Amino acid sequence: MESYRIDRPVYVEIASVTVDSSSLRAVYRTDAPIFLPSGELYIEYPGVTQVTDDDIEQILLATFLPMAALSGPVTISFPFEARRKDYWRQYLARFDQLHQKMTWKQGGILERNEMEIPSYPNESRIGILFGGGVESMFGVSMLEALRPRLFALVGPSFMNNDHGRSSVKRALEDRFEARFGLPIHRISTNARSLFPTGDDSILNKFVTGAWFYFFLRPLLRDFGIDMLFKVSEYEEAANFTDFDLSLNPRFISKIADGPLFLPLLNAYSKMQMFEELSRTPYFDYIYSCLNNTSGRWCGACSKCRRLAEYGRRLGIDTRRIELDPALPYLDESSPISRHYAVMMDTLSPVSIEQAKREEGLAGRVSPRSGRGPLSIIKRFLS
């Protein structure tokens, strides 16, 4: 992060903003190319969507917000009068070490094409941020009776939602949609690729949560969504450092400026979610790899190896999701990874196969032998 710090004021000029029936494009210029070169931001919605001036302001501020973390005071020039200054000053104030000021100027061009906004049936008033991994898939399995709307941000470098790098995840999601009748409403954007740092510790700390909320907000409003849920595991909720702060369950409700943005199910550890999911048909559609590759799992990242370890400890055959059960566990040093390791060792200290060997019961110990996470918790409570 320090290599990208700019110890001087920086300037962002929004030269033009064009909004049509299903997209927003903003051409901008900056004087800090090492962190954010001049370019164009685009957001494309899956259908006709009303994007208001307030949406535009919040989207643009959410996009350029990380600059305030790595520079002196930031001045942003908008093509209309900015009205959300107090909101963003309060947002920035939540980061203890962030004392830089942001100022606003008016200038540039706003072009809006007239459109007829469709009326969507209010089948559900709740939405789920859906990435197709363990957490969001678990959330869908728990709320299936409510038929939640599923929303996703996709695009270049956007975590493991870069469909341009691989068609594997999209094909899996297509099968998911066909089986359960739950369409995934995808908003495509190049926002993440605009920042050459490629450093998730910067973007996830300051801005990814705001992107999820404000980029989706026009669509949430059109669908009549009252509450947008982000499913988080216990380990993320317990991650009290500022790493990934904008995605933390303690933080996301503070982002909301319209429909509520709420954490969901963070009393469950990731291992418990994995175990519960394995008992449902939703398990077959998990995609949790950090890398978009030609296969469903890269086999090298921490997520692939963690899920393989969960399978070994819980007696779940991960070949059901095309994951090699023999992948070695990758012990990492990040705060959240330490939480995963502690919870794993607490809930299921040894694998089912190891338990068989230790107890001399090879071939006769059931995977439900009382060593799974829920069994341990039940024994503890009793």
pTM score of the predicted model: 0.85
Residue 26 three-state SS = strand
Residue 89 pLDDT: 79
The residue ranking higher by pLDDT, 371 or 355, is 355
Residue 358 pLDDT: 55
Q: Does residue 54 surpass a pLDDT of 80?
A: yes
Closest of 368, 343, 337 to residue 355, by C-alpha? 368
**pLDDT (average), residues 169-182:** 95
Residue 214 pLDDT: 96
Residue 238 pLDDT: 86
Query: Would you state the structure tokens that stand for residue 359, as one six-digit string?
Result: 């107890």
Are 220 and 127 in contact by the 8 Å Cβ rule? The answer is: yes
Closest of 251, 242, 235, 205 to residue 332, by C-alpha? 235
**pLDDT (average), residues 30-35:** 80
Q: What are φ and ψ of residue 325, in 5° steps?
A: -70, -10
Helix, strand, coil abundance in the chain, percent, nearest 5:
40, 15, 45
Provide the residue type at 40 as one letter. Answer: E
Burial of 86 (0-12, 13-18, 19+ CB in 10 A): exposed
- Alpha-carbon distance of 194 to 199, in angstroms, equals 12
Are 269 and 235 in contact by the 8 Å Cβ rule? The answer is: yes
Tracing tokens 């009748």 back to the chain, one arrives at: 181
**Cα separations (Å) of 330 from 131, 230, 327?**
22, 26, 9
The residue ranking higher by pLDDT, 32 or 326, is 326
Ranges 7-11, 105-109, 246-250, most confident:
246-250
Are 126 and 259 in contact by the 8 Å Cβ rule? The answer is: no
**Going from the N-terminus, what domains does the chain have, and what CATH number goes with each?**
2-112 (3.30.70), 126-264 (3.40.50), 287-377 (no CATH)
**pLDDT (average), residues 156-160:** 81
Instruction: Give pairs for 315-319: CB < 8 Å, separation 24+.
Output: 315/351, 315/352, 315/353, 315/366, 315/367, 315/368, 315/369, 315/372, 316/274, 316/275, 316/278, 316/367
Predicted confidence (pLDDT) per residue in 339-368, tens digit: 899 999 999 887 656 655 555 544 443 444
Closest of 235, 225, 310 to residue 269, by C-alpha? 235
Q: Does residue 370 surpass a pLDDT of 50?
A: no
Q: Does residue 232 surpass a pLDDT of 70?
A: yes
Sign of CA dihedral 71, 154, 252, 304: negative
